[in-house]
Amino acid sequence: MHGRIGVVAETASKKTADNRPRLLLMDGHSLAYRAFFALPAENFTTASGQTTNAIYGFASMLANTLRDEAPTHFAVAFDVSRKTWRSADFPEYKANRSKTPDEFKGQVELIGELLDTMNAERFAIDGFEADDVIATLATQAEAAGFEVLIVTGDRDSFQLVSEHTTVLYPTKGVSELTRFTPAKVEEKYGLTPQQYPDFAALRGDPSDNLPGIPGVGEKTATKWINQFGSFAALVEHADEVKGKVGQALRDHLEAVKLNRHLTELVRDVELPKAVTDLERAPYDRTALKGFLEVLEIRNPSLRERLLAVDPGAVEEEPPAPEAGVELDGTVLGAGELAYWLEQHGTQPLGVATVSAWALGVGSVSEVALAAADGKAAWFDTTQLDESDERAFAAWISDPSRPKVMHNAKDALRVFPEHGWEIAGVTMDTALAAYLVKPGRRSFALDALSIEYLHRELAPAAADGQLAFGTDEQAEADALMSQARAVLDLGEALGGKLEEVGAVELLHDVELPTSLLLARMERHGIAADRAHLEAMEQQFAGAVQQAVKEAHAAVGHEFNLGSPKQLQEVFFGELNLPKTKKTKTGYTTDADALAWLAAQTEHELPVIMLRHREQARLRSTVEGLIKTIAADGRIHTTFSQTVAATGRLSSTDPNLQNVPVRTDEGRAIRRGFVVGEGYESLMTADYSQIELRVMAHLSEDLGLIEAFTSGEDLHTTVASQVFSVERSAVDAEMRRKIKAMSYGLAYGLSAFGLSQQLGIEPAEARVLMDTYFERFGGVRDYLRRVVDEARATGYTATMLGRRRYLPDLNSDNRQRRESAERMALNAPIQGTAADIVKVAMLNVDRALTDAKLSSRLLLQVHDEIVLEVAPGEREQVETLVRHEMSSAVSLRAPLDVSVGAGPDWESAAH
């Protein structure tokens, strides 16, 4: 491995063209807040619930600005609180600002930690705002002969602009900065930078709660400043200003004077360090990488940009290889693989591959093997001769030859395309890392290598293509390094698995599941293209019909996909009740439309709901049609490492997203059919598995009895909760208890239950309390599981799958309550997920043992789908019922429903 030195880092401490030092100052709070609203919080959240969008956006802007401006000196200023000399002089200062969003809290402190890893100076001075600190540093720097650059979203900083000071003002989120020089300020406002605070005082600033003058806008303020030369001169000649605006000026003169006082930035704040102390210093690169890893910020572009502007990168020597990392690698030619395997293939080998897979077809283009003694080999699969083919096929299929892989399922799925079957995979480092820390955002090999081996990996080829600018030797070296990293990771993670008690879970459940899923992905499921295309046309027609109806309901055409136009129509033209206010206006999301439909008699909300539902269904079917492969089947991809609870997920296409409870969803499922050479599809699923798991874990005798009685669960429970005979339980009682039971299994609060049932929170709380009076074991279990998790830091399923929840002890209420809900949910849903995996493996093993041709095709949550060979239906059904019901032993017995038919919907039960 070779250390890579960024080109930009070479200029990271250069001086300006006239050899002056360059100081970059950033307004931390201003930029963090902009980043927070520029990036969707829901896309930047760690597994523990820490939102990171402001951190990510700030870091991105920081990296770009350091790269583009190449300062010699750098500092960031932060606000301490809203209590400053301005709020002391004017108590209403910024009093109109809304409460800081919970998701934003804590991110500023973490940005400070980021800056510390970069050895960057940061200031936060009691009683002053960040602007005052920046003004002070800028003034000192100019006097010391510096060029000054200020990055801030506060326009008051324009008063600092001069021949030597430029403000870089964000004009689009955090991605674009506009340079405000004296000429730019004059072009924008028609005033000099020195006149800007006069202008700001007259204009007022709603964001700071500084009142303006009624009837006086920016044009009038500019006119007055230019006419009289300054604010002070305007005050002296206020009696000369004619008309209503003149009277308004005189009426509000004292307020405007106060504005002028408050908008003037302080330039002599006492600071702990001087400008000359702000020279950029080398990063603590280990701390920086660790910081990014802990916050699960793994975007390689951001990471590379931050490291590229490290002032210490120029002097940095390539890191010395760790002991045992040096590779004696060989690029094998035709006829050389068999001998290499004979020499090294008896020991555990790390395996890395470059492969491609799309629409049920794939190929392997490169393979690298690495041993613990430093030997490694790389070969192009198209260059193997007959002896190589035989030797590799024998080695790869030999269960006594240990193989360590990363995301082994990818290889298990594609190797059979070459006639190679894989056996003997003793470790999958992606699955192992998932079991050790299931809440990670990424299980990529390079990230794991940095975290566990402190080793950076060079990028290898993707989809069989050499990385741009590399030759075969470089590509081979990169892939062999990956193979060695996989081998070393396997050893490191093996110890971690023992620490968390997950060794058996990996070897008995996850690795066999990978092998089964690979075969299921290769099988795919047959699709009726004509049926799906007819469905797509049906939904497209329904979408167009909804558009026509919406236009007719309003009386003119408008874009149903434009939130802005919808807001104008709903709340402007139609004057319907206002919904929840967002930063872009009143929301028109699905919940808001449903509320409007209930609150008003206007037909438009109902039409819009139908339009969105039909558009969603059309999109779903379009996606399914696009993924029908040449063999007429849809080959989804399953993932074992996405859901922290252990559930499988499905992509390309997502078959877990096909609706099941609506007529349209059932019609879509009829497009999945039995394939040629098979008799029928069969579906089998568990009835109320999460509730049975909850009954088992809680050991509540009443709930267990409700399951073992053979009666309808929700009716039986409702009769006990409402103290009525079973025959007196009506549909509404049953609905409430069903929502309650499932809600408890998923950590639902009383408020959440009230929202789900459409009742008051107080009524929901009474319902929960009554439920717990009858089922005290459930209440005690739910309390116990959270208390135990708070003490140990994790929850565990019956099979030992852990989920770590450090936020259970967080001071942040929102994060703590979120972690408590996860603690309630994880053991129940995780145990259910484990049971389904065990059931799948047992069913597959039993099919093989019975020498049946029927096969598993899909797993969707608690349901498995099989393709049944002619004449095997009764035997398969008996086998499936037995293996699934006996997958584990629960106090509340597992109940299995089975159905068969020519398509997925007909096979429902």
515 with 570, same domain: the answer is no
Q: Does residue 902 belong to any structural domain of this protein?
A: no
pLDDT confidence of residue 249: 66
Percent of all residues in the chain with a pLDDT value above 90, rounded to a whole number: 39
pLDDT confidence of residue 462: 46
DSSP-assigned beta bridge partners for residue 331: 378
**What's the mean pLDDT in 880-897?**
93
Q: Does residue 59 belong to any structural domain of this protein?
A: yes
What is the phi/psi pair of residue 355, to 5°?
-140, 170
Whether the Cβ atoms of residue 828 and residue 693 lie closer than 8 Å to each other: yes
Q: What is the average pLDDT value for the chain, to the nearest integer? A: 84
Last residue of a domain, one of 826, 855, 883: 826
The residue type found at 290 is G
**What's the mean pLDDT in 623-637?**
94
512 with 547, same domain: the answer is no
Q: Is 885 helix (H, G, I), strand (E, B) or coil?
A: helix
The DSSP letter of residue 578 is: P
* Six-digit token string for 12: 């990271």
Whether the Cβ atoms of residue 5 and residue 313 lie closer than 8 Å to each other: yes
pLDDT confidence of residue 346: 92
The CATH number assigned to the domain holding 283 equals 3.40.50.1010
119: nearest Cα among 318, 306, 319, 315 = 306
Q: Is the pLDDT of residue 9 over 60?
A: no
Contacts with 691 (C-beta within 8 Å, 6 or more apart), sequence order: 703, 707, 713, 741, 742, 745, 892
Q: For tokens 């590399």, name the residue.
A: 470
Torsion of CA 858, 863, 866, 868, to 10 degrees: -160
Last residue of a domain, one of 763, 791, 826: 826
pLDDT confidence of residue 371: 94
669: nearest Cα among 650, 682, 655 = 655
Q: State pLDDT tens for residues 271-287.
A: 888 898 999 999 988 88
Whole-number Å distance between alpha carbons of 498 and 492: 11
The residue type found at 901 is G
Q: How many CB atoms lie within 10 A of CB 709?
A: 11
**What's the mean pLDDT in 658-662?**
80
Contacts 24+ apart (CB under 8 A), 729-735: none
Q: Is the pLDDT of residue 783 over 90?
A: no
299 with 333, same domain: the answer is no
pLDDT band at 365 (very low <50, low <70, confident <90, very high): very high
pLDDT confidence of residue 252: 62
* Six-digit token string for 462: 């993707």
271: nearest Cα among 73, 79, 80, 126 = 126
Higher-pLDDT residue of 757, 877: 877
**What's the mean pLDDT in 758-764?**
83
> Which residue stretches of 191-252 are H helix?
196-203, 218-228, 231-236, 243-251
pLDDT confidence of residue 660: 78
Burial zone of 422 (CB within 10 Å; 0-12 exposed, 13-18 middle, 19+ buried): buried
Rounded (5°) CA angle 697-702-708: 85
pLDDT confidence of residue 208: 62
Q: Is the pLDDT of residue 579 over 90?
A: no
Q: Is the pLDDT of residue 747 over 90?
A: no
**Helices (H) and strands (E) in the chain — how many of each?**
35, 25
> Which residue stretches of 46-129 are H helix?
53-69, 85-89, 107-117
Q: Is the pLDDT of residue 772 over 90?
A: no
pLDDT confidence of residue 130: 87
Whether the Cβ atoms of residue 642 and residue 409 lie closer than 8 Å to each other: no
Whole-number Å distance between alpha carbons of 470 and 277: 43
Q: Does residue 496 belong to any structural domain of this protein?
A: yes
Q: Is the pLDDT of residue 829 over 60?
A: yes
pLDDT confidence of residue 317: 44
* Six-digit token string for 776: 């005290």
In order, the DSSP letters of 11-25 are GTTPPPTTS--EEEE
* Six-digit token string for 856: 């598993």
Higher-pLDDT residue of 8, 358: 358
pLDDT band at 313 (very low <50, low <70, confident <90, very high): low
The winner for highest mean pLDDT among 59-73, 458-472, 533-547, 766-780 is 533-547
Q: Does residue 294 belong to any structural domain of this protein?
A: yes
Q: Is 168 helix (H, G, I), strand (E, B) or coil?
A: strand
Q: Does residue 558 belong to any structural domain of this protein?
A: yes
Whole-number Å distance between alpha carbons of 127 and 79: 9
Q: Does residue 590 belong to any structural domain of this protein?
A: yes
For residue 357, what is the enclosing H or E element? strand 349-358
Q: How many CB atoms lie within 10 A of CB 783?
A: 12
Q: State pLDDT tens for residues 142-178.
A: 999 999 999 998 888 888 998 899 999 887 655 578 8
Whole-number Å distance between alpha carbons of 637 and 277: 55
pLDDT confidence of residue 93: 61
pLDDT confidence of residue 667: 92
Stated pTM of the model: 0.65
- What angle, 0 to 180 degrees and rounded to 10, lies between the N-to-C axes of helices 53-69 and 28-38? 120
Higher-pLDDT residue of 230, 754: 754
721: nearest Cα among 766, 677, 654 = 766
565 with 519, same domain: the answer is no
Q: How many CB atoms lie within 10 A of CB 260?
A: 18
Domain that holds residue 392: 328-524
Last residue of a domain, one of 773, 800, 826: 826
> Which residue stretches of 526-638 are H helix?
529-554, 563-567, 590-599, 604-626
**What's the mean pLDDT in 283-304?**
82
Number of domain units in the chain? 4
pLDDT band at 517 (very low <50, low <70, confident <90, very high): very high
pLDDT band at 98 (very low <50, low <70, confident <90, very high): low
Higher-pLDDT residue of 237, 843: 843
Whole-number Å distance between alpha carbons of 379 and 387: 14
For residue 182, what is the enclosing H or E element? helix 182-189
Q: State pLDDT tens for residues 425-435.
A: 999 999 999 99
pLDDT confidence of residue 482: 93
Whole-number Å distance between alpha carbons of 896 and 884: 7
What's the distance, Cα to Cα, between the start and end of the chain in Å? 57
**What's the mean pLDDT in 197-206?**
68
DSSP-assigned beta bridge partners for residue 364: 355
- What angle, 0 to 180 degrees and rounded to 10, lies between the N-to-C axes of helices 300-308 and 53-69? 40
Whole-number Å distance between alpha carbons of 454 and 322: 9
Whole-number Å distance between alpha carbons of 253 and 475: 73
722 with 742, same domain: the answer is yes
Q: Does residue 878 belong to any structural domain of this protein?
A: no
Contacts 24+ apart (CB under 8 A), 478-481: 479/352, 479/353, 479/354, 479/366, 479/368, 479/378, 480/327, 480/329, 480/352, 480/368, 480/369, 480/370, 480/376, 480/377, 480/378, 481/1, 481/327, 481/457
Burial zone of 533 (CB within 10 Å; 0-12 exposed, 13-18 middle, 19+ buried): middle
356 with 451, same domain: the answer is yes
Q: Is the pLDDT of residue 836 over 60?
A: yes
899: nearest Cα among 564, 650, 660 = 660
The CATH number assigned to the domain holding 494 equals 3.30.420.10
**What's the mean pLDDT in 733-740?**
85
For residue 668, what is the enclosing H or E element? helix 663-669
Q: State pLDDT tens for residues 386-420.
A: 999 999 999 999 999 999 999 999 999 999 999 99
* Six-digit token string for 692: 């049975």
Rounded (5°) CA angle 275-279-283: 140
Whether the Cβ atoms of residue 366 and residue 461 lie closer than 8 Å to each other: yes
176 with 76, same domain: the answer is yes
Contacts with 788 (C-beta within 8 Å, 6 or more apart), sequence order: 795
Instruction: Provide the greatest CA pair distance for the chain.
Output: 104
Q: Is 129 helix (H, G, I), strand (E, B) or coil?
A: coil
Higher-pLDDT residue of 821, 799: 799
577 with 706, same domain: the answer is no
Q: State pLDDT tens for residues 448-475.
A: 988 888 888 866 544 444 443 346 788 8
542 with 501, same domain: the answer is no
Buried b (16+ CB within 10 A) or exposed e, 205-239: beebebebbeebeeebbbebbeebeebeebbeebe
Q: State pLDDT tens for residues 323-346.
A: 446 788 889 998 899 999 999 999
**What's the mean pLDDT in 630-648?**
92
610 with 757, same domain: the answer is no
* Six-digit token string for 709: 């009685």
pLDDT confidence of residue 752: 80
Its sign, for the CA torsion 598, 600, 605, 607, is positive
Contacts with 493 (C-beta within 8 Å, 6 or more apart), sequence order: 427, 429, 432, 433, 436, 452
The CATH number assigned to the domain holding 558 equals 1.20.1060.10
Higher-pLDDT residue of 534, 717: 534
pLDDT band at 231 (very low <50, low <70, confident <90, very high): low
Buried b (16+ CB within 10 A) or exposed e, 887-905: beebbbebbbebbbbebbb
374 with 468, same domain: the answer is yes
55 with 97, same domain: the answer is yes
Q: Is the pLDDT of residue 7 over 60?
A: no
Whole-number Å distance between alpha carbons of 253 and 238: 9
Q: Does residue 561 belong to any structural domain of this protein?
A: yes
328: nearest Cα among 472, 484, 471, 454 = 484
Contacts 24+ apart (CB under 8 A), 207-210: 207/94, 207/97, 208/93, 208/94, 208/262, 209/92, 209/93, 209/94, 209/95, 209/96, 209/97, 210/93, 210/259, 210/262, 210/263
* Six-digit token string for 554: 């309003």
pLDDT confidence of residue 775: 86
